[in-house]
Amino acid sequence: MAWDKRRRDRVDDNGESKTEGKPARIRAGLARSVRRLHHRETFTLGAPFLALGRKQQAWVGAGRTAANVALESLIRTIPDFPLPGILFRDITPLLKDPTGFREMIDLFVARFEHESIGQVVAIEARGYMLGAPLAYRLGAGFVPVRKPGKLPAAKHAESYTLEYGTNSLEIHDDAVGCGERVVVVDDLLATGGTAAATGRLLERLGAHIVGFAFLIELSELDGRRTLQGYDITTFLRY
């Protein structure tokens, strides 16, 4: 689930009708492509990466593969939600599809399985749907970053700006160890505000942020600028 503040006349660019059918050939192609992505050589600093300055690089799912296309076909576009003029990228059809959900998590696993991740940090709430299974597959711990008033123990808080106001995120002060290698996971990179606030929280705890990983990136909102200096992984771009 994600929103995209683009013109409504661009909804058809993503083929809403794609979400209605799941041909066997597409699903087979998805499985084949993800299996190929499990090879270590896929993740060298070659074709899968885009240069974004001295420190920042982005992994984009080894280009537009059958896996990316098949995952995109399971994402539904909802116009005028939650506000008029917004296109909402709804991932619930992908989450309920057993093959699609498994292969989505496999993409994240293939990217980070050799990074010695100690904790997967996920942002409330949709990030939990990706972060928890990823942590399980990586043999890592799972750390939830939560909205205000949800965490019971001593915690740190960071504010961020929304288009329609401000909000904040919180993390327990013992959530990660100093120098511990972590990856931050969420479903969507839009303006990058929530991810940047999470990064600040982790830096206060002394974590080593290996990177940020998102299923979807809304390129026009330029969230990469907000996260400048970090490694960023995205799989689908709108």
Active-site positions read: 126, 163
Which one-letter DSSP state was computed for residue 113? Answer: T
Strand ranges (E), the chain: 2-4, 49-51, 57-59, 76-79, 87-90, 119-123, 141-145, 155-162, 165-172, 181-189, 208-217, 232-237
- Give me the phi and psi of 108, to 5 degrees please: -65, -40
Taking the C-alpha atoms of residue 182 and residue 140, their distance in angstroms, rounded to an integer, is: 9
Taking the C-alpha atoms of residue 195 and residue 189, their distance in angstroms, rounded to an integer, is: 8
Q: At what angle do helices 98-112 and 66-73 cross, to 10 degrees?
A: 140
Query: Which residues on adjacent β-strands are paired with residue 233?
Result: 59, 213
What number of other Cβ atoms are within 10 A of residue 137's Cβ?
16
Question: Is residue 64 a contact partner of residue 232, using CB atoms and an 8 Å limit?
Answer: no
Which one-letter DSSP state was computed for residue 86? Answer: P
